Amino acid sequence: MTWFELFEFIFRFHVSNPDTATWIYILIAFLGVTIGLGLLWGKMWNREWGLGGHLGSLFMVAFFAILCAYSVFNLRGVSRVESWMKEQRTTLARSIASSGHFNRSVLRSAWTQLSTSGGQQGLTPPDQAGNEIRLNNPEEAFALASAAAEETRSALRTKMPFVIGAPLSTKSANEIATEAVDAVQFDASRYPTVVPADNEWSKTAATLQANHALDTAHDQLKPRLKDLKTASNWLLVISLLLPAILIPMGAIKDIKVDPKG
């Protein structure tokens, strides 16, 4: 992920997850530099100081106020992304697995594959409003989990944080299906069994695929977010320190040029 992509990701994250506190902090940072450093700090050195008659100082203060606000914007973004992604580990997979569209898509995909070998007699096909599928053996359970893993991969592309630019890395459908079948631990003596669209194999495959994608994205984003945090901290220091030095210099120079009182 390039710096530009990282900046875009943070911006889109803020827009997609509006947070009142963030915008308040940004406003405080901007006004703090503009009024606190640009005006009040200057008056401590020259009581006649003002930005209205000093166009260069006004532009300088506005520039550093924007830099300060932007650094706060990025720092808040880094902090919120970290905590938000941890929360998503418990909600993202659930939101996918509980989706009616997801379950229907998985059922249709699995039915297309399994119906060719028979074993679905007496059940209504999904394209005719059917909501069940028969698993005749562990291999068919594997096929169902594989279909769910593949559908989860497609669903993740439209979900946060991947839709706003987080790197998406998924396991192959076969890898996830193998893990899902092992995790469900269904007794082979219970086959054949009829399961609904909302079943344990689909849920487990969705959870495994979603959590892998989130963990991988977090691992890839973490060092970049750390770099952004460091850069933003330095930018914050610079945007506060330089006006704190330059404004008194301008105020004192103004006394020498136009002494009053």
pLDDT band at 257 (very low <50, low <70, confident <90, very high): low
Token output for 239 = 């945007």
Tell me if residue 170 falls in helix, strand or coil: coil
pLDDT digit string, tens, across residues 204-228: 999 999 999 999 999 999 999 999 9
Q: DSSP letter for 197, please.
A: S
Higher pLDDT, 134 or 256: 134
User: Which residues neighbour 147 within 8 Å (Cβ) at sequence distance 6 or greater?
Assistant: 106, 109, 110, 113, 173, 202
Q: What is the pLDDT of residue 120?
A: 83
Residue that the structure tokens 């850069």 belong to: 231
pLDDT digit string, tens, across residues 50-73: 777 778 888 999 999 999 999 999
Which value, in Å, is the radius of gyration of the alpha carbons in the chain?
29
Residue that the structure tokens 């000093």 belong to: 54
Across-strand partners of 195? 133
Q: What is the pLDDT of residue 212?
A: 94
Q: How many Cα atoms sit within 13 Å of 74 on the Cβ side?
A: 23
Alpha-carbon span 158 to 225, nearest angstrom: 22
pLDDT digit string, tens, across residues 147-163: 999 999 999 999 999 99
Alpha-carbon span 94 to 109, nearest angstrom: 20
Alpha-carbon span 92 to 61, nearest angstrom: 43
Residue 198 φ then ψ, to 5°: -90, 90
* Predicted TM-score of the model (pTM): 0.80
The full set of domain ranges for the chain reads 3-257
